[in-house]
Protein backbone atom coordinates (compact mmCIF):
# COMPACT_ATOMS: atom_id res chain seq x y z
CA UNK A 1 0.00 0.00 0.00
CA UNK A 2 2.78 2.35 1.00
CA UNK A 3 4.57 1.53 -2.26
CA UNK A 4 1.45 2.29 -4.31
CA UNK A 5 1.03 5.62 -2.59
CA UNK A 6 4.64 6.54 -3.18
CA UNK A 7 4.28 5.59 -6.84
CA UNK A 8 1.13 7.66 -7.19
CA UNK A 9 2.80 10.65 -5.55
CA UNK A 10 5.72 10.27 -7.93
CA UNK A 11 3.41 10.15 -10.95
CA UNK A 12 1.57 13.28 -9.84
CA UNK A 13 4.88 15.05 -9.29
CA UNK A 14 6.16 14.00 -12.71
CA UNK A 15 3.02 15.03 -14.57
CA UNK A 16 3.21 18.37 -12.77
CA UNK A 17 6.77 18.81 -13.97
CA UNK A 18 5.79 17.99 -17.51
CA UNK A 19 3.00 20.51 -17.82
CA UNK A 20 4.93 23.31 -16.16
CA UNK A 21 8.01 22.46 -18.28
CA UNK A 22 6.23 22.62 -21.64
CA UNK A 23 6.36 26.38 -21.85
CA UNK A 24 10.14 26.48 -21.51
CA UNK A 25 11.08 23.49 -23.71
CA UNK A 26 12.25 24.70 -27.10
CA UNK A 27 10.90 22.88 -30.15
CA UNK A 28 13.94 21.53 -32.05
CA UNK A 29 14.34 23.08 -35.49
CA UNK A 30 14.54 20.51 -38.27
CA UNK A 31 17.07 20.99 -41.07
CA UNK A 32 14.09 20.19 -43.33
CA UNK A 33 12.51 23.47 -42.26
CA UNK A 34 8.74 23.28 -42.39
CA UNK A 35 8.62 20.50 -45.03
CA UNK A 36 6.58 17.62 -43.58
CA UNK A 37 8.39 14.31 -43.10
CA UNK A 38 6.19 12.56 -45.68
CA UNK A 39 7.13 15.03 -48.46
CA UNK A 40 10.39 15.12 -50.40
CA UNK A 41 12.55 17.98 -49.24
CA UNK A 42 14.11 19.54 -52.34
CA UNK A 43 17.89 19.86 -52.34
CA UNK A 44 19.21 23.40 -52.29
CA UNK A 45 20.03 24.56 -55.84
CA UNK A 46 23.60 25.34 -54.86
CA UNK A 47 25.89 25.09 -51.87
CA UNK A 48 26.14 28.17 -49.67
CA UNK A 49 29.54 28.52 -48.01
CA UNK A 50 30.44 30.55 -44.94
CA UNK A 51 31.68 34.07 -45.65
CA UNK A 52 35.19 34.48 -47.02
CA UNK A 53 37.70 34.92 -44.25
CA UNK A 54 35.85 32.75 -41.77
CA UNK A 55 36.98 29.43 -40.35
CA UNK A 56 34.57 26.75 -39.20
CA UNK A 57 35.30 25.77 -35.62
CA UNK A 58 37.49 22.70 -35.20
CA UNK A 59 35.72 20.38 -32.77
CA UNK A 60 38.24 17.67 -31.99
CA UNK A 61 41.97 17.35 -31.42
CA UNK A 62 43.87 16.62 -34.63
CA UNK A 63 40.85 17.28 -36.84
CA UNK A 64 41.74 18.71 -40.24
CA UNK A 65 39.76 21.97 -40.48
CA UNK A 66 36.85 21.84 -42.92
CA UNK A 67 37.03 23.93 -46.09
CA UNK A 68 34.77 26.99 -45.73
CA UNK A 69 34.58 27.52 -49.50
CA UNK A 70 33.91 25.58 -52.69
CA UNK A 71 36.48 22.87 -53.39
CA UNK A 72 36.18 22.73 -57.17
CA UNK A 73 39.88 23.26 -57.72
CA UNK A 74 41.73 20.79 -59.92
CA UNK A 75 44.41 18.59 -58.39
CA UNK A 76 46.42 16.88 -61.12
CA UNK A 77 49.96 15.55 -61.40
CA UNK A 78 51.40 18.96 -62.26
CA UNK A 79 48.76 21.38 -60.98
CA UNK A 80 47.25 21.79 -57.53
CA UNK A 81 44.63 24.54 -57.35
CA UNK A 82 44.65 24.51 -53.55
CA UNK A 83 48.34 25.16 -53.12
CA UNK A 84 48.23 28.38 -55.14
CA UNK A 85 46.27 30.08 -52.34
CA UNK A 86 47.52 28.12 -49.36
CA UNK A 87 51.27 28.05 -50.01
CA UNK A 88 51.93 31.06 -47.81
CA UNK A 89 50.59 34.24 -46.28
CA UNK A 90 47.68 34.45 -43.88
CA UNK A 91 46.07 31.25 -45.14
CA UNK A 92 49.21 29.15 -45.13
CA UNK A 93 48.82 25.39 -44.71
CA UNK A 94 49.99 23.90 -41.42
CA UNK A 95 53.78 23.45 -41.06
CA UNK A 96 53.21 19.67 -40.95
CA UNK A 97 52.34 19.87 -44.67
CA UNK A 98 55.83 20.97 -45.70
CA UNK A 99 59.01 18.99 -46.17
CA UNK A 100 62.18 21.00 -46.82
CA UNK A 101 60.15 24.04 -47.90
CA UNK A 102 58.01 22.08 -50.38
CA UNK A 103 54.55 20.55 -49.95
CA UNK A 104 55.11 17.01 -48.69
CA UNK A 105 53.82 14.44 -51.19
CA UNK A 106 51.74 12.83 -48.43
CA UNK A 107 49.70 16.04 -48.24
CA UNK A 108 49.22 16.59 -51.97
CA UNK A 109 45.66 15.19 -52.14
CA UNK A 110 44.13 17.82 -49.89
CA UNK A 111 40.67 16.33 -49.93
CA UNK A 112 41.85 13.05 -48.50
CA UNK A 113 41.60 14.96 -45.21
CA UNK A 114 39.82 18.27 -45.77
CA UNK A 115 36.18 18.34 -46.83
CA UNK A 116 34.14 21.35 -47.88
CA UNK A 117 31.38 22.36 -45.49
CA UNK A 118 28.36 24.15 -46.92
CA UNK A 119 25.87 25.85 -44.62
CA UNK A 120 22.53 25.56 -46.37
CA UNK A 121 20.44 26.19 -43.29
- Burial profile 45-63: b = 16 or more Cβ within 10 angstroms, e = fewer: eeeebeeeeeeeeeeeeee
Of residues 28 and 105, the one with the C-beta less far from ligand HEC: 105
Of residues 32 and 106, the one with the C-beta less far from ligand HEC: 106
Q: How far apart are CA 67 and CA 44, in angstroms?
A: 19
Whole-number minimum distance, CB 101 to ligand HEC, in Å? 14
Of residues 34 and 84, the one with the C-beta less far from ligand HEC: 84
Whole-number minimum distance, CB 68 to ligand HEC, in Å? 5
Instruction: Residue 120: name the closest of 67, 57, 56, 48 by CA.
Output: 48
Whole-number minimum distance, CB 21 to ligand HEC, in Å? 39
Kindly give, in sequence order, each residue whose CB lies less than 8 Å from that of residue 80, ignoring residues fewer than 6 positions away.
Answer: 73, 74, 103, 108, 110
Q: Which residues bind ligand HEC (CB under 6 A)?
A: 52-53, 55, 62, 64-65, 67-69, 71, 73, 80-86, 91, 93-94, 96-97, 103, 107-114
Amino acid sequence: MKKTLTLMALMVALSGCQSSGDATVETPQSLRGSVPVAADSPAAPEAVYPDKGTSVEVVSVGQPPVIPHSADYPITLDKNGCISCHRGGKRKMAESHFEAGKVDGKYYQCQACHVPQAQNF
